[in-house]
Amino acid sequence: MKDHEVKTLMQSTLEDFQLSRKERGEIRDLLDKVKGDEQKRALYRSMAFDAAREVLGKADAGQRYQTLDWLEDAVKALHPAENLPAAGKAGSDHAFFSPEDNCVGKITEMFGQARSTVDVCVFTITDNRIVDAMERAHKRRVQIRVISDDEKAMDKGSDIDHLARLGIPVRVDRSEHHMHHKFAIFDKSKLLTGSYNWTRSAALHNEENFLITSNSDLLRDFTRMFDKLWRDFS
């Protein structure tokens, strides 16, 4: 099945706001054909979110709830339970490299999937596509916190001040040294970390990387570091 056909499939399953048994079977068949290709899976999940966004823009209150229920079912179908990692186990880790991989697409997808919390600790944010995804998550009442570098926050094109004006809690270091971490914790269950700066140059030109993991030991360590920095920069 070609990508545009997958998009059409997503849109058609949303017409009645339900994912039927037949449609779930079609999705299983689709996943079988791209088994092991996480990039394709990420693309298909992104298509599901795109289909939902199109409907949400013109839906009434009742249809919005139905759309979100459909989206939850679609994401579960595209990421079945047997592929979910056991806590603390290997095998759930995925690496992404720019500019070859769609790194910005994966980051925005993570914000689109976030349900309750996202803690962001990054050197700088200048890629508006990521900022837009953060704003959408904030409007869905996802609790977002941001830690960044004080000097980079003042750079031309930095979106840190914009995020603060939206009401997203932001803290920066106040020292002569840099806050150079680049990681984010989604729903306390997924860690994204690596060299990748959240900038357009990183997406388009730089040789960068990040990995996504559900390893419980790493989640614990990075959560402790985030909480420590959050206290230190208060």
d(CA 222, CA 233): 16
**How many CB atoms are located within 10 Å of the residue 147 CB?**
24
Q: Are residues 9 and 57 in the same domain?
A: yes
Residue where a domain stops, chosen among 61, 83, 105: 83
Q: Are residues 74 and 99 in the same domain?
A: no
Residue where a domain stops, chosen among 83, 106, 132: 83
Provide the residue range defining the domain that includes 75: 3-83
- CATH number for the domain including 201? 3.30.870.10
Tokens of 67: 């759309």
Q: Give catalytic residues, as residue numbers.
A: 180, 182, 187
Q: Are residues 79 and 148 in the same domain?
A: no
Tokens of 125: 């944010």
Residue 89: inside a domain: no
Q: Are residues 32 and 105 in the same domain?
A: no
d(CA 70, CA 10): 10
User: Low-confidence residues of the chain, pLDDT below 50?
Assistant: 82-91
Q: What is the pTM of this model?
A: 0.61
d(CA 43, CA 7): 10
Q: Which pLDDT value is given to residue 90?
A: 45
Residue where a domain stops, chosen among 60, 83, 106: 83
Residue 219: inside a domain: yes
Q: Are residues 221 and 162 in the same domain?
A: yes
Q: Are residues 108 and 224 in the same domain?
A: yes
Count of the separate structural domains present in the chain = 2
Distances (CA, A) of 113 to 3, 26, 70, 159, 182: 21, 22, 13, 22, 20
Q: Are residues 48 and 141 in the same domain?
A: no
Based on the number of CB atoms within 10 Å of its own CB, is 100 exposed (0-12), middle (13-18) or buried (19 or more)? exposed
CA dihedral 48, 69, 83, 117 (to 10 degrees): 90
Residue 108: inside a domain: yes
Q: Are 229 and 122 in contact (CB under 8 A)?
A: no
Q: Which pLDDT value is given to residue 157?
A: 54
Closest-CA residue to 122 (of 80, 75, 180, 161): 180
Question: What is residue 213's DSSP assignment?
Answer: E
Q: Are residues 149 and 47 in the same domain?
A: no
Residue 88: inside a domain: no
Q: Are residues 137 and 203 in the same domain?
A: yes
Q: Are residues 9 and 70 in the same domain?
A: yes
